Structure 1
């Protein structure tokens, strides 16, 4: 049986995340997967910021995202693919549940895969100033 491509793995991962099926999403990840949102430093005001290592930390991160946002548009505009990395760029518009304000941002995603085709690094960059403005 042929292993699915890294692009297919990433597509399935994102589908599971947006459907709230975090355990299925994390099955596509290495045991010590690292999720980095904006920067590696943790911020108590923004529990999504920082580095989150391991599958359980990933589940917590995505649950925090779902608690924070009503997911809206998430458009991929471009992808760059090589053997072990996928870099994607796009736009998003998510509503902050607490304030009702829309967080609009360009985004960039960097995903690295291990030799088994599992996600071992998922790094997301968005407009933090726009997020923080929508949060308050």
Structure 2
């Protein structure tokens, strides 16, 4: 019986320090002009966008392009943009040996004051 109690006590052990909860969550209000919603993060491995609006369409896009045009202008239903309908989400995962999604992102909405939640994992 003593061994059982000792084993259970060892399993309980000291409380481990709490790390910040993953994902890191950022509530953002998006307007009708393309604007930065999250900056560069060289340790970001995944990013997800969630449109929590009842009515607004929200487009997100990275701030840079690997094509001849160095920047992307975010537009709802536009080229280079990912348009989210109400209550829709979109996740981007890093790929390769060291997966990264480190670029900054812009957003624009079809109506002013649209709520967007940005989540990132490091």
TM-score bracket relative to the smaller structure = under 0.3
Q: Which of the two has higher C-alpha Rg?
A: 2
More helix by share: 1
**TM-score by structure 2 length?**
0.28
More strand by share: 1
